[in-house]
Amino acid sequence: MEDVKCLVSIIVPVFNAAGFIRETIDSVRRQSFSEWELIFVDDCSADDSCDIIKSIMSEEPRIRLISREQNRGAAWARNEGVRNAKGRYICFLDADDIWDKDKLLLELEFIREKKVGFVFTGYEFADENGCGLGKVVHVPQMITYGQALKNTTIFTSTVMIDTGIIQKDDIYMPDVESEDTATWWHLLKRYGAAYGLDCNLVKYRRSAGTLSSNKARAIRRIWNLYRNVEGLSLLKSAYCMCFWALRAVIRRI
């Protein structure tokens, strides 16, 4: 790969992530591509998350911490991070997920080769200790808005966006549950397809009790997106939901 000098801004919302945050930071610091800034947005954590981040900041100038005293949710935290980002490229990383050491390098090569604004990669489910479970989610070479309605395969911690192509205003996430999925759909409608790099570059830690692990709640969130955010008809929503549910099950087998 040619020498890349464009800064990558990595946005991490933080809420009571003390048990995981150090390992997540380590996975960024190990990246083979080094031109990055790591922006933590603390959403009023009640644990030691901020203390851990501050202790590492003392020796790592590429890390920044934004703290607020009122809890406002993941969408607000990510939007605050985007507003403060200095890099051309924006990546999102959840506070308990782990990146492969070549994640940024390979994804930068891919997004530049494709000359597109929105890419994502494959990933692997992991347990609470961050150990891979062997359940790797493969991603398509390309996905459109219509396809994404039936297949929510774009995982937030795998996404990279080129703000030289996609306007920053379009990256801001709405204040709804599954705000990340709503944002990907918005980008696909406005800018066309997103492109998938089918490499396992992220470990998706699924802790007991997390939002994503509650299947009934996940169904309600996606249904709300279909009906109240996208404005789909009852029939179209049910049609998309059937495919969404099938693929969600397949990803976990």
DSSP symbol at 32 = S
User: Comparing C-alpha atoms, which of 62, 63, 28 is closest to residue 42?
Assistant: 63
Which residues in the chain belong to E strands, given as ranges? Answer: 8-14, 36-43, 63-68, 89-92, 98-99, 118-126, 132-137, 142-143, 160-162, 194-205
Distance CA 129, CA 66 (A): 27
pLDDT in tens, 63-111: 999 998 788 899 999 999 999 999 999 999 999 999 999 999 999 999 9
d(CA 153, CA 244): 9
pLDDT for 163 equals: 97
**pTM of the entire structure?**
0.92
Position 2 pLDDT exceeds 50: no
Q: Which residues of 67-94 are buried (b: 16+ CB within 10 A; e: fewer)?
A: eeeeeebbbbbbbbbbeebebebbbbbb
pLDDT beyond 80 at 62: yes
Residues 205/127, Cβ–Cβ less than 8 Å: yes
SS (H, E, C) 91-122: EECCCCCEECCCHHHHHHHHHHHHCCCEEEEE
Tokens linked to 42: 């603390």
- φ, ψ for residue 4 (rounded to 5)? -100, 120
Using CA atoms, how far apart are residues 100 and 107, in angstroms rounded to an integer?
A: 11
pLDDT at residue 3 in the model: 41
Pick the CATH number of 8-208 from 3.40.605.10, 3.90.550.10, 3.40.50.300, 1.10.3130.10: 3.90.550.10
Confidence of residue 4 (pLDDT cuts 50, 70, 90): very low
